[in-house]
Amino acid sequence: MNLIWRSVFVWIAVWRDLIRYWVLSSHEVETNSYFSTGQHRGNVGEGQLHVRHDNIHEFKKYECEPEELKEAIINAKSRHLNIVY
């Protein structure tokens, strides 16, 4: 999956009593051990980041509060731009 043009991903998870936000650079998504290419057979340029109840704690470093979203996005974009492709 070529994520070079996608610099930042924002994930929002909503439960009945909780909303959580994660912000990752595309490089952090693409190189994550839980990322798999080929979301569906025959699809090109898609993938999945498998966040489950048993690994969600590993994404804690990307989590932010709603009032921190803008700064988290700026920081993730900066991390993305520092990657040499």
Per-residue model confidence as pLDDT tens digits over 1-46: 444 556 899 999 999 999 999 999 988 998 999 988 876 667 677 7
CA 76 distance to own-chain centroid: 10
pLDDT tens digits, residue range 43-81?
677 788 889 999 999 999 999 999 999 999 999 998 887
Closest CA to 7 of 20, 22, 19, 24: 24
